[in-house]
Amino acid sequence: MNFIGNFIWLLFGGLISALGYFLGGFILSCTIIGIPFGLQCFKIGFMVLMPFGSKVVSDSSSTGCLSVLFNIIWLFSGGLYTALMHLLFGFLLSITIIGLPWGRQHFKLVELSLMPFGKRIVAE
């Protein structure tokens, strides 16, 4: 069932969204300061490629206050906008019964795109 959901997701905009995240990650990774933010774009891009069958969990890594600082920078430099867009699309897709599974995937992406540092993607 995950294969069918991911295929339909990619067909109706998931591939374009993932390519946008990958392009942003590549551009951010061209500078040394932007590498951590570029890696987060790649992480979100892989989640956007195949959201069915994966979930976001908090990572208990020992990055200390750096993940908090990077999340604040991420939030004010586009993270809030992307999270609001995923929230909007989640609500729009949840209007119909057929769109509920895809709306649920957008709601999963809200958590990751709002504050990606300290989060990890695992298989369900």
Instruction: Report helix, strand or coil for 10.
Output: helix
pTM higher than the cut 0.85: yes
| Residue range 66-119, pLDDT digits in tens | 888 999 999 999 899 999 999 999 999 999 999 999 999 999 999 999 999 988
118 Rama sector, left if φ>0, alpha if ψ -120 to 50, beta otherwise:
left
- Outline where DSSP puts E strands in 45-103: 54-58
Structural domain count of the chain: 1
Which residues lie across from 123 on neighbouring strands?
54
Q: What is the mean pLDDT of residues 21-25?
A: 95
Which residues lie across from 10 on neighbouring strands?
none
Range(s) of the domain holding residue 44: 2-123
Instruction: Report helix, strand or coil for 98.
Output: coil
Question: Are residues 96 and 113 in contact, defined by beta-carbon separation less than 8 angstroms?
Answer: no
Q: Return the pLDDT at 124.
A: 81
Sequence-ordered list of residues with C-beta below 8 angstroms from that of 93, at least 6 positions apart, any chain? 99, 100, 102, 103, 106
Q: What angle do CA 17, 20, 25 make, to 5 degrees?
A: 130
